[in-house]
């Protein structure tokens, strides 16, 4: 068997803390100084959560879901030297169209940030005659060019893979409704040019386990490993008192990511701390990004907590992959190509 490794650039200064205590038997532990972003972080922004970060040069850049004091969410950029303390812009990201004219969505939330080749892509949720996704690209974090909306409404949780597969861009998404969506499976679609998307395939459905029995959705950009694509996603259960969002883990086939090789039956992190259980929407752990280092195997997971804060959790490649494999339960619809 090959040695387990990440197939990605090493990242110096990945945020890290050895475990104080592991909350459950899963090898994922919280940062002791959580939340890393608290309330009213920027003038005019009441809460930041569900946000994505990436290494850029010697520092880190993030795209943040900022809930303005008028209640409308938008995306703000921020910079950090340590990926823990963030300096967030007071102005929204100024999206332009391909002619350079302002092209702002009415609102934008739950951004993901993924580098493919030399370009950084931001994918977010917005209104496109109903809940759907927007996408923009940048090479310098100064000019942000919005592209054609990738999918029809209703759809959310667009997560791009960090490289092309068999020559095409690949994106996970979660078809939904325009409300609080009481259903939802993860699909994957491909595109030769970031404009035309097709060859849609089913990846995986809600699970039989209570924590993911209502719906699931993609989380952080998949991490390429020698075992397949390591995906952190969210799983939701519907209780008599509302939804509960936990973090789950799966490993997708490297050449055909509609095939789920392993899927962990246990949640990796579930709301337990005050900043996850108490807030604008209680009981939410919503992963949107990782920073990971192929040399050390360290993985830092960024997640929104209670629609109010940003939390940070850690794991190691050599612990999380065996854990997912040991506790894997895949269904027939997970393991098929997903073309019916």
Instruction: From residue 262, give the alpha-carbon distance in Å to each of 25, 62, 165, 330.
Output: 18, 30, 20, 6
* Binding residue (CB under 6 A) for ligand BMA from 284, 285, 291, 305: 284
The footprint of ligand BMA on residues 299-328 (CB under 6 A) is: 304, 307
> Closest by alpha carbon to 304, among 230, 187, 219?
219
Which residues are bridge partners to 314 per DSSP? 29, 300
Distance in Å, CB of 156 to ligand BMA, minimum: 7
Distance in Å, CB of 270 to ligand BMA, minimum: 14
Question: Three-state SS for 155?
Answer: strand
Which residue number, 81 or 180, has a Cβ lying nearer to ligand BMA?
A: 180
**Total residues binding ligand BMA (CB under 6 A):** 10
Please, which residues have CB within 8 angstroms of residue 35's CB and are 6 or more apart in sequence?
A: 275, 305, 309, 310, 311
Cβ distance 22 to 29 under 8 Å? Answer: yes
Which residues are bridge partners to 112 per DSSP? 123
* Binding residue (CB under 6 A) for ligand BMA from 110, 224, 227, 293: 110
Which residue number, 284 or 313, has a Cβ lying nearer to ligand BMA?
A: 284
The footprint of ligand BMA on residues 264-283 (CB under 6 A) is: 281
Which residue number, 169 or 233, has a Cβ lying nearer to ligand BMA?
A: 233
Which residue number, 96 or 281, has a Cβ lying nearer to ligand BMA?
A: 281
> Is residue 67 a contact residue for ligand BMA (CB under 6 A)?
no
Which residue number, 219 or 297, has a Cβ lying nearer to ligand BMA?
A: 219
The footprint of ligand BMA on residues 140-199 (CB under 6 A) is: 180
Which residue number, 134 or 228, has a Cβ lying nearer to ligand BMA?
A: 134
109-116: strand order across its sheet: 95-96, 144-146, 131-138, 119-127, 109-116
Distance in Å, CB of 110 to ligand BMA, minimum: 5
Map residues 238-257 to x or -, x wherever contact with ligand BMA holds by CB under 6 A.
Answer: -------x------------
Sign of the Cα torsion 31, 217, 306, 304 reads positive
> Is residue 286 a contact residue for ligand BMA (CB under 6 A)?
yes
Question: Which residue has its beta carbon closest to ligand BMA?
Answer: 281
Instruction: Tell me which H or E stretch contains 277.
Output: helix 274-277
Cβ distance 258 to 188 under 8 Å? Answer: yes
The footprint of ligand BMA on residues 20-59 (CB under 6 A) is: 50
**Rounded distance between C-alpha atoms, residue 249 and residue 204, angstroms:** 12
**Rounded distance between C-alpha atoms, residue 233 and residue 133, angstroms:** 18
325 phi and psi angles, rounded to 5 deg: -65, -45
Distance in Å, CB of 236 to ligand BMA, minimum: 8
CA 62 to chain centre: 12
Interface residues with ligand BMA (CB under 6 A) are: 50, 109-110, 180, 245, 281, 284, 286, 304, 307
């Amino acid at each position: 068997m090959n040695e387990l490794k990440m197939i990605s650039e090493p990242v110096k200064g990945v945020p890290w803390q050895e475990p104080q205590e592991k909350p459950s038997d899963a090898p994922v532990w919280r940062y002791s100084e959580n939340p890393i972003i608290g309330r009213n972080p920027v003038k005019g922004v009441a809460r930041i959560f569900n946000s994505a970060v990436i290494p850029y040069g010697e520092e880190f850049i993030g795209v943040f879901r900022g809930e303005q004091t008028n209640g409308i969410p938008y995306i703000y950029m921020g910079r950090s030297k340590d990926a823990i303390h963030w300096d967030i812009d007071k102005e929204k990201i100024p999206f332009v169209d391909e002619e350079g004219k302002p092209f702002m969505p009415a609102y934008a939330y739950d951004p993901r940030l993924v580098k493919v080749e030399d370009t950084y892509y931001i994918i977010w949720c917005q209104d496109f005659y109903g809940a759907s996704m927007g996408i923009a690209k940048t090479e310098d974090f100064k000019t942000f060019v919005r592209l054609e909306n990738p999918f029809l409404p209703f759809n959310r949780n667009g997560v791009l893979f960090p490289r092309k597969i068999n020559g095409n861009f690949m994106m996970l998404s979660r078809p939904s409704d325009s409300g609080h969506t009481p259903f939802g499976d993860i699909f994957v679609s491909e595109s030769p040019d970031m404009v035309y998307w097709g060859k849609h395939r089913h990846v995986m459905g809600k699970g039989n386990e209570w924590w993911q029995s209502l719906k699931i959705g993609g989380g952080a950009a998949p991490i390429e490993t020698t075992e397949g694509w390591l995906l952190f996603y969210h799983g939701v259960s519907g209780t008599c008192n509302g939804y509960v969002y936990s973090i789950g883990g799966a490993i997708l086939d490297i050449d055909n990511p509609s095939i789920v090789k392993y899927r962990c039956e246990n949640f990796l992190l579930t709301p337990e701390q005050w900043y996850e259980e108490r807030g604008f929407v209680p009981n939410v752990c919503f992963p949107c990004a990782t920073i990971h280092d192929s040399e050390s195997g360290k993985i830092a997971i960024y997640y929104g907590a209670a629609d109010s804060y940003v939390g940070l959790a850690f794991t190691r490649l050599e612990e999380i992959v065996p854990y997912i494999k040991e506790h894997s339960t895949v269904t027939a619809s997970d393991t098929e190509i997903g073309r019916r």
